[in-house]
Structure formats: C-alpha cells, structure tokens
C-alpha cells in the first residue's frame, strides 16, 4: 500500500478537488491511505477565530467562524450532487462543536482552545472530499483520525502515543472491504477525547506515522511545487528542483526552517526505509523529488530565510561565568516554556539566542531568565541559513545586510541580520 498526503492548496477550490480525484483515479488498483489537509488557508483563518475567542472578542470569533463555515458550505453545495447526503449532517456537527465552544468563556489555556477550534479544518475538508470521491466512483472510507491517533495533552505540539496508535491503526485500517481510506493529518486526541494538534504542517508527519505502522511501500506528498527546491521559489526565483535527496539532508533543511516537509516526518520513514516522494499535484507527470537513505553528493547551496526572529541577549548579572549551572537552568527554562532556540552562541559571561518572535513565549523567557541574567531583546530580525554554502552564494545573499551574528560549521552557515 501507498500513503498519500494532499496539502491545503491541492483542495482549495472545486477544480483542485476534481484534480485530486483525477490523481487518485490514476492509482485505481492500489491500496491507498490518503491524508488531506484543511482547504486552502483554513487553518490560518481558524487560528484567527481562536485568537479572537481567547482575547474575549466572542462576536468577532463567531463572525470569523461564520466565514469559514460559509466557505465549506459553498464548497459542498457546488461540488456535491447529492445535497441531502450524510456529509451535510456531519459538517453541521463539526460547526456546532466549535460554535458551542465559542459561546463559552475561556477558562483554560490558549493552546487547548486553539486545538479544539483549529482541528475542525481537516475534519471539514476530508468530509467533503471523501463524499465527492464516493460520488464520482472512487470508493473510499472516511475515518475520524481522532479515534486512531492518540496523543498526550501537550496541546498544539502533542506527542503521539505510538503503542496505542499502532494498535488502533492495525485494527481500523485493514484494507479488507475497501482500497482507499481518507482521513485527516495534523490532529489527534487525548485519553479524555480532547482534540489535539501536532504542530503546524503536521499532516506530513501524520502520513509518516501511517506509512511506518502499515509498512507502506512509499509515501507521497502532493504539493503545488515541482518538488523539493533549494530555496523558496516565491522569495528566490533562481531556485531549482532537487530530484534526489537523503533523509539526512531533508531533516537538516527542515531544522533550519525550510517549509518543505514537517521535520518530524522523516524519522518514521527513515526507520523503516520507506521512500518519500514529493510530487506536484498540478502536473503529476513531473518526476518530483525522491528522498531515501542514499547519500547524495554535490548538492548545490540550499538556503532558507526565517523571518520574525528575535535576538535575546543574556548577560550574567554579577559577571560570573556562563558555566554549567546557568546553562542547565536556561535549558530547563526552554523546556518549561516550550521554546526552541534557532541558534545559540555562548561567550564567557554572556549568551545570545535567536528565537521565533512569539510574544507570550518571549515574556515568559525574559521573566524566567532574569533571575540569572540581565536580559535584552532585539526584534525585527531575519535568520539566513545556507547548507553547502560557497563564497558566491554567501556574498550574494548577505549583500547589504547588517549582520549581527554569524555561525559556521563545515556544512552550514547561519547569518542573523537586521532588516
Ligand atoms: N492544516 C494544517 C496546517 O495548515 C496542517 C497541515 O496542512 O499539515 O498547518
Ligand atoms: Mg500544508
């Protein structure tokens, strides 16, 4: 069997959904486990709903949610022929779940509400696409993945309970009566049946969980680009497709912020040697990229820019060394507030961190670190990372930038600069 994952752009409008059906139809004799993301920018829209709700703007949250709701109702109305099918009842249930919550007052943490609201995007999209596929003769079974993927309650970045999930996957996905399953990625649920999410873009990872457990022959991620490229083509028109990559390379690229594949996707595939294909849903005849364990030599420079970066400058309060104790305390703080620095540079009595600009996390970090350090924060920065850097590329990309921190290994150069 094969695992497919279709991203949000592949189902963002009626023609795109029909295109997806065409692709799946080309694999008529295969057993397929298909993961489909929320349609278009639905996840972003739902994030806005969650924010409005949590900041006490109930009316605004409801209004924003109505827009999401309307988009899906329209999609179903114009895509599906059988208007009185169970899909409508199911959509209504999902809408009601969210609206019911929006009428409450927030009493728990933000991340909890985020997950309860945002998870609905994938449920709506898979419900519509699955119904459409059944209508056009691509028989499939829809699954609520929250019954199958069990996680802890670390909302917004939930960790999968592999043992529980493996049993459920093997029990539910047997390919006994049908060849195609349609389900969600990115979401799961806790022991208490509360919805969780695995982190933005997490459906690549969900797909890899199924590929691993079901010993898939391959996983394919269908995207709007030709394959994995050496830079983001929207920002760097000179970007080229990399037809072959190793898992090691891809995990590094993802770590440095390339929005190619969710970083957690690689391990489950690597562990079982399952090839990962990245293909273009706009032209499925293109070769795309294949990622395997094979070491690939002579790669061109691969570069990524992370925006909205913050430099946190920590200076020891009494001029004592940044020795083991302060470092251990600092890493404990990272763990407690769930922050992952993108770069760390240590000196004798000071330490610099580059982190994503998340106000809530920054405040917590500054508060906790100020027990040991004087804390200074500079915002509005960008972090450029170049794998397999060469002088020409480095000079071209860093030209005119006011560089404030630079770090180099044999493979990778990182440059933090003001914009
Ligand atoms: N819909 C989610 C997101 O946009 C998950 C995914 O597409 O992978 O982040
Ligand atoms: Mg996506």
CATH number of the domain where residue 320 is located: 3.30.2130.10
The Cα 150–Cα 190 span in angstroms is: 6
Compute the distance from residue 302 Cα to the ligand 1 centre, in Å. 24
User: What pLDDT is stored for residue 126 in this prediction?
Assistant: 98
Q: Which of 129, 165, 161 is nearest to 147 (CA)?
A: 165
- At 164-178, the pLDDT tens digits run 999 999 999 999 989
pLDDT > 80? residue 278 = yes
The Cα 58–Cα 72 span in angstroms is: 21
Instruction: Judge if 213 and 349 occupy the same domain.
Output: no
* Within-domain flag for 121: yes
Protein residue whose Cα sits closest to atom 8 of ligand 1: 201
Structure confidence at residue 46 as a pLDDT band (50, 70, 90): very high
Cβ(175)–Cβ(241) under 8 Å? no
Residue ranges around ligand 1 (CB below 6 Å): 7-8, 37-38, 43, 121-122, 185-186, 200-203
- At 197-213, the pLDDT tens digits run 999 999 999 999 999 99
User: What pLDDT is stored for residue 235 in this prediction?
Assistant: 93
Distance of CA 112 to the CA centre of its chain: 18
pLDDT > 80? residue 85 = no
| Ligand showing the shortest atom-to-Cα distance for residue 9 | 2
Q: Give the range of the structural domain holding residue 386, as residue numbers without chain letter.
A: 302-418
Instruction: Judge if 218 and 322 occupy the same domain.
Output: no
Place of tokens 């459920």: 168
* Within-domain flag for 324: yes
* Within-domain flag for 252: no
Atom number of ligand 1 nearest to Cα 199: 9
Instruction: Judge if 171 and 308 occupy the same domain.
Output: no
Instruction: Judge if 180 and 80 occupy the same domain.
Output: yes
Distance of CA 80 to the CA centre of its chain: 29
Cβ(120)–Cβ(65) under 8 Å? no
* Within-domain flag for 59: yes
pLDDT > 90? residue 322 = no
306 SS3 class:
strand
356 SS3 class:
strand
The Cα 119–Cα 340 span in angstroms is: 24
Considering only CA atoms, give the Rg of the chain. 23
Cβ(299)–Cβ(388) under 8 Å? yes
User: What pLDDT is stored for residue 318 in this prediction?
Assistant: 85
Compute the distance from residue 29 Cα to the ligand 2 centre, in Å. 27
User: What pLDDT is stored for residue 262 in this prediction?
Assistant: 86
User: What pLDDT is stored for residue 390 in this prediction?
Assistant: 96
Mean pLDDT of the residues in the chain: 95
Instruction: Judge if 214 and 360 occupy the same domain.
Output: no
Domain end: 174, 206, 223, which one? Answer: 223
Domain end: 223, 248, 278, which one? Answer: 223
Atom number of ligand 1 nearest to Cα 206: 8
Protein residue whose Cα sits closest to atom 5 of ligand 1: 201
Write the DSSP symbol of residue 108.
S
Instruction: Judge if 173 and 314 occupy the same domain.
Output: no
* Within-domain flag for 286: no
- At 120-157, the pLDDT tens digits run 999 999 999 999 999 999 999 999 999 999 999 999 99
pTM over 0.85: yes
pLDDT > 90? residue 37 = yes
Place of tokens 């924060």: 377
Compute the distance from residue 373 Cα to the ligand 2 centre, in Å. 39
Segment (H or E) for 53? helix 42-54
Instruction: Judge if 24 and 118 occupy the same domain.
Output: yes
Atom number of ligand 1 nearest to Cα 38: 1
- Give the total number of structural domains in the chain: 2
Q: Which of 45, 50, 132 is nearest to 88 (CA)?
A: 132
* Within-domain flag for 276: no
Task: Name beta bridge partners: 221.
Answer: 5, 278
Q: Which of 202, 125, 96 is nearest to 156 (CA)?
A: 202
Instruction: Judge if 321 and 211 occupy the same domain.
Output: no
The Cα 369–Cα 364 span in angstroms is: 8
Compute the distance from residue 398 Cα to the ligand 1 centre, in Å. 31
**Length of the chain in terms of residues written:** 419
* Within-domain flag for 397: yes
Strands 195-197 vs 141-143: parallel, antiparallel or unpaired: unpaired
Compute the distance from residue 147 Cα to the ligand 2 centre, in Å. 22
pLDDT > 70? residue 83 = no
User: What pLDDT is stored for residue 283 in this prediction?
Assistant: 97
Q: Please state, for a pLDDT cut of 70, what percent of the chain lies above it.
A: 100
* Within-domain flag for 392: yes
CATH number of the domain where residue 217 is located: 3.40.1160.10
Domain end: 180, 207, 223, which one? Answer: 223
| Ligand showing the shortest atom-to-Cα distance for residue 264 | 1
pLDDT > 70? residue 84 = no
Tally helices (H) and strands (E) across the chain: 13, 16
Which has more pLDDT, 81 or 189?
189
| DSSP calls for 194-248 | -EEE-STTTHHHHHHHHHHHTT-SEEEEEESSSS-BSS-TTT-TT--B-SEEEHH
pLDDT > 90? residue 59 = yes
């Amino acid at each position: 069997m094969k695992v497919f994952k279709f991203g949000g752009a592949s189902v963002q409008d009626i023609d795109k959904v029909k295109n997806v059906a065409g692709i799946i139809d080309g694999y008529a004799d295969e057993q397929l486990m298909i993961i489909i993301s929320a349609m278009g920018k639905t996840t972003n829209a739902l994030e806005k709903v969650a924010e409005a709700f949590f900041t006490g703007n109930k009316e605004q949250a409801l209004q924003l949610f109505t827009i999401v709701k309307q988009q899906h109702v329209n999609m179903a109305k114009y895509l599906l022929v059988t208007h009185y099918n169970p899909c409508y009842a199911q959509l209504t249930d999902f809408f009601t779940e969210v609206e019911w919550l929006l009428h409450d007052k927030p009493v728990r943490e933000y991340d909890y509400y985020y997950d309860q609201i945002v998870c609905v995007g994938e449920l709506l999209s898979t419900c519509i696409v699955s119904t459409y596929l059944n209508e056009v003769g691509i028989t499939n079974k829809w699954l609520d993945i929250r019954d199958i993927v069990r996680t802890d309650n670390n909302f917004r970045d939930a960790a999968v309970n592999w043992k529980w999930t493996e049993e459920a996957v093997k029990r539910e996905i047997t390919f006994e009566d049908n060849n195609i399953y349609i389900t969600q990625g990115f979401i799961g649920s806790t022991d208490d049946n509360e919805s969780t999410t695995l982190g933005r873009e997490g459906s690549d990872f969900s797909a890899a969980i199924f590929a691993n457990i079901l010993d898939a022959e391959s996983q394919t991620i269908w995207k709007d680009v030709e394959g994995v490229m050496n830079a983001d083509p929207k920002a760097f028109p000179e970007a080229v497709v990399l037809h072959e990559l190793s898992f090691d390379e891809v995990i590094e690229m993802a770590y440095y912020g390339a929005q190619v594949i969710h970083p957690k996707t690689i391990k489950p595939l690597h562990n079982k040697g399952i090839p990962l294909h990245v293909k273009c849903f706009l032209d499925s005849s293109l070769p795309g990229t294949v990622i395997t364990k094979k070491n690939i030599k002579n790669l061109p420079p691969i570069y990524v820019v992370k925006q909205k970066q913050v430099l946190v400058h920590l200076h020891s309060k009494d001029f004592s060394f940044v020795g083991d104790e302060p470092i251990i305390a600092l890493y404990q703080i990272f763990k407690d507030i769930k922050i992952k620095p993108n770069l760390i540079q240590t000196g004798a009595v000071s330490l610099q961190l580059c982190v994503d600009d998340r106000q809530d996390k920054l405040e917590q970090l500054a508060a906790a670190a100020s027990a040991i350090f004087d804390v200074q924060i500079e915002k509005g920065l960008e972090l450029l990372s170049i794998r397999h850097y060469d002088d020409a590329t480095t000079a071209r990309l860093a030209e005119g930038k006011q560089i404030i921190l630079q770090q180099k290994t044999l493979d990778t150069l990182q440059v933090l600069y003001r914009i």
